[in-house]
Amino acid sequence: MTEPQYDYDQLKGLFDTFYEDMPLFAKHVFNVTLTPKQIEYADAFKNNDTITVGGSSGWGKTFVSAISLWWSLIVFNPVKVTIFAPSESTIKSGIWNELQVLYAKMDPVFKDLFEVSATKIARKSGGETCWAEYRLVSKDNIAAARGFHSKNNIVIADEASGIEDVIFTGALLNVLNDDFAKVVLVSNPDKASGFFFRTWRDPELSQDWVKVHGTIRDKPNYKPGDEERFARLYGGVTSRDYLAMVEGEFPLSDVDGLISREFIEDAISNKEVVPDPKAPIIWGLDPAGAGKDKSVLCIRHDNVLRGFEEWQGLEPVALALRVKELYLNTAKINRPAVIAVDGNGLGAGVFDALKHFDIPVYKCMFAEVPKRKPDRYTRVRDQIWWEMREWIHTGDVSIPNHKKLVEDLAIPTYEDAPKIKIEDKKSLKKRLGRSPDYADALALTFSVSHTRYASKYQWDKPIEYDNLSQWE
């Protein structure tokens, strides 16, 4: 006996059920069970028109992309799905291979609805309006990404970090003018630049993209302790390979940054450092207003960064009160000799309030010409960030394994001629997706000493706030 033949209309009621439940679709059609992270991707795909998917290898982003593509071909009518990638080998060994593997697993009832060739999948009924295919694009043939329109027009950009920006802005995003269109970017986060990177980190652009991020912990076969094993394999927790393949994070930079990654890793792993007991404890306070950025206070004792305190949404006086409370609740032996405050903008109000509270405080003005070696630095900010760099590069320091601090330290670039100039904060915020509050707070602790990162002075008690001019 031959198997019964079905057409699309006969199965439409079942497909309507599939539309509401992609995990059910995957189980019923392919006999596969989606993981929680894959279900998160499936829900984002179903309910949004711009989705950016990144993360480590192994959690199944290519696999669930193929599930989503087959789902689209079945539940939508009409539908056109186009896969773009920077190379044919990327597609053939990636999503197109997954599509063919799934087709082989497909229940015969559904398998009979489609014709599959080397480069195209078409529904037998309505092949002109219901299909999926792949195309290669480069900046030299942008036209290949234009000119296809449909209701339910879906674009999947595989290995999106390798597709040049002009392809997105000049062609692919145009499909969003169609009814019920979707653009899905899928990639390993292997570059700290480009359109894919910006959908995650650009403060403005990223608002329009729903993000699905997976790590090694989302792998179906994840075993506790895999992170440590891969850290050893890839050369440390800040290495490019570890960040991309384990944590699913973008590299700290595409170029050599301000502070060497090796020195950052050494400072994180260095637990044997003992601060000079006669060296002063210094706090650095980087105030933020009522927005999304945090007010961050750094606690440094000589060559040890003890940690951070942070607050959000506090006005200057309220922030000063929190700092005062922390100061008074700290044992005298652990109190700072001075609190260096970024005195720009609302920081001026924080400084005034702390001074009024009789707390030892120093106002650092980032934009001023430095009094220490003005022939070498453009501004005070450049001076104290560079001295922070030199402090870490001594190799005899200890810092916590704090993800945002590590990013803040490693991502900035700099110029060294004719004077040292650190990458400006606006550019940093755009690449980080936030303000570099933690590095700013640490850098502030270097603003009060004549001798850069190691004070020649022995302070046995807090400096009186009206006697701080000597430390400029």
What are 67-80's pLDDT values in tens digits?
A: 999 999 999 989 99
- 4 vs 377, more confident: 377
**Residue range 9-234, CATH number:** 3.40.50.300
Let me know if the fold of 9-234 is the same as that of 255-471: no
Q: pLDDT at position 467, please?
A: 39
| Contact call for residues 391 and 397 (beta carbons, < 8 A) | yes
What are 18-32's pLDDT values in tens digits?
A: 999 999 999 999 999
Enter the pTM of the model: 0.64
What are 342-376's pLDDT values in tens digits?
A: 998 889 999 999 999 999 999 999 999 988 888 88
Q: pLDDT at position 255, please?
A: 61
**238 — alpha (psi -120 to 50), left (phi > 0) or beta?**
alpha
What are 162-176's pLDDT values in tens digits?
A: 888 988 988 888 889
Q: Is the pLDDT of residue 256 over 70?
A: no
What CATH class has 255-471?
alpha beta
Q: What share of the chain is helix, strand, coil (3-state, %, to 5)?
A: 40, 20, 40
Residue type, 353: A
**382 — alpha (psi -120 to 50), left (phi > 0) or beta?**
alpha
Tokens of 352: 């005034």
SS3 448: coil
Q: pLDDT at position 191, please?
A: 84
Q: Is the pLDDT of residue 116 over 50?
A: yes
Q: pLDDT at position 175, please?
A: 87
Q: pLDDT at position 7, please?
A: 65
Q: Which helix (H) or strand (E) holds 121?
A: strand 120-123
Alpha carbon 219 to its chain centroid, in Å, reads: 20
pLDDT band of 89, cuts 50, 70, 90? confident
Q: Which residue has the tokens 């960040």?
A: 243
Domain boundaries, the chain: 9-234, 255-471
Averaged pLDDT, 218-244 = 86
Q: pLDDT at position 147, please?
A: 58
